[in-house]
Amino acid sequence: MLLPSDPQSSGPALTPPDLPLNETRKRWLASLDADDRPLRDHLEQHCHSPRLGLVFESLWHFFISNDPDCELTAHNLAVRDGKRTVGEFDIIYYQHSTGRYFHLELAVKFFLYHPSGEHNPLSNWLGPNSADRLDRKLDRLVDHQLRLSRTRFGHRQLAELGISGVSTQLHFGGMLFYPPEAEVHPCPNLHPDHLRGHWQTVSTFLASGEIQRWRVLAKPDWLAADFSMGMPFDSDALGRAQQRPIMAINPAGQRQFITPDDWPQHRRPAGS
């Protein structure tokens, strides 16, 4: 989703994993479309939480473990200073075609556009609970997570695996939601082909007369984006939308957030 925020920076570049969708990977994905039991079995055995970030990580574990060009060396590898945990490597993997080890950091987020008035354009993107911000999340990734392999504690943890060095990569997935008819200036830090949706307040949504076209997605289903998983907008769903943002989907697969009328001032955890 994101491009390097400053390609000339001395810090780690936001380099995505170089795993193009070649014919081998296309055939494998097609086989999963025909029979997804291997993926379902993997999630059932290895992912015991509905949290989106953990599900996202588990999907990547499955992908790398089954890719003929890659070997999954470690995942969720804690880095410690004595008894104190200083960080965690999301994924360490080896790529045969390059002959290199990689530290792959993962993130998946959903942000809504709301002007902040600050200089950094990434500060205009808020999480549904309005406490998260894209600029702060990115700063945390760059200043801490992607530097982990450069620390002496990270070096020591990698050495225990017989690895002398890694290249850092970031896959930042998710989706950005725009207010209808609002002018949003292009941001060079964002991938030009990022996934897009819209957001509107519950009052505007009700006035649109389109409520029957949309279904509510429970938070664990935000990644799947499957209309068949949605539930109709009944009075309970509308009541929840007046309390916290909820995600909705239509038959075409388009998604939007329905927010309380006073969002983002109204701060409560987002959900179904």
The answer on 256 and 210 residing in a single domain is: yes
Cα 189 to Cα 54: distance, rounded to the nearest angstrom: 25
On whether residue 17 sits in a domain, the answer given is no
Pairwise CA distance, residues 229 & 189, whole Å: 33
In a domain? residue 98: yes
| Domain termination site, one of 175, 209, 240 | 175
Asked whether the CA dihedral 225, 231, 235, 240 is positive or negative, the reply is negative
Residues sharing a CB contact under 8 Å with residue 136, sequence separation 6 or more, in sequence order: none
Task: Let me know if residue 220 belongs to a domain.
Answer: yes
Domain span at 243: 198-272
Pairing of strands 100-113, 167-178: parallel
Q: Which parts of the chain fold into alpha helices (H)? A: 23-34, 37-46, 52-65, 134-143, 152-160, 202-208, 235-241
Q: In the prediction, which pLDDT does 2 show?
A: 55
- In the chain, how many H helices and how many E strands? 7, 10
pLDDT value of residue 7: 39
Residue 204: what pLDDT?
Answer: 96
Residues 246 and 158 in one domain: no
One-character DSSP codes across 65-112: HT-TTEEEEEEEEEEEETTEEEEEEEEEEEETTTTEEEEEEEEEEEEE
b vs e for 175-213, b when ≥16 Cβ sit within 10 Å of the residue's Cβ?
bbbebeeeeeeebebbeeeeeebbbbbbeebeeeeebee
Contact 162, 181 (CB under 8 A): no
Query: For residue 44, is it within any domain?
Result: no
> Is residue 140 in a domain?
yes
Domains in the chain: how many in total? Answer: 2
Are residues 158 and 96 part of one domain?
Answer: yes
> With a cut of 70, which residues of the chain have pLDDT below it?
1-13, 266-272
On whether both 154 and 224 belong to a single domain, the answer is: no
Please report the pLDDT score of residue 268 as a whole number: 52
- Return the C-alpha torsion angle 137, 253, 229, 1, nearest 10: -20
Residues 6+ apart with CB under 8 A from 115: 124
Q: Are residues 151 and 210 in the same domain?
A: no
- What was the pLDDT predicted at 151? 95
Report the pLDDT value the prediction gives residue 271, as an integer from 0 to 100: 53
Same domain for 83 and 168:
yes
Pair (142, 75) in one structural domain: yes
* Residue 132 is assigned to a structural domain of this protein: yes
Q: Kindly state whether residues 76 and 164 are assigned to the same domain.
A: yes
Listed residues 142, 175, 208: the one ending a domain = 175
The reply to whether 205 and 268 lie within a common domain is yes
List, in sequence order, every residue forming a beta bridge with 2; answer none if it has no partner: 190
Give CA 214 to chain center in angstroms.
23
* Assigned domain for 27 exists: no
State whether 122 and 169 are in the same domain.
yes
Domain match, 216 and 167 both: no
Q: What is the pLDDT of residue 199?
A: 97
Does residue 233 share a domain with residue 157? no
In a domain, 46, yes or no: no
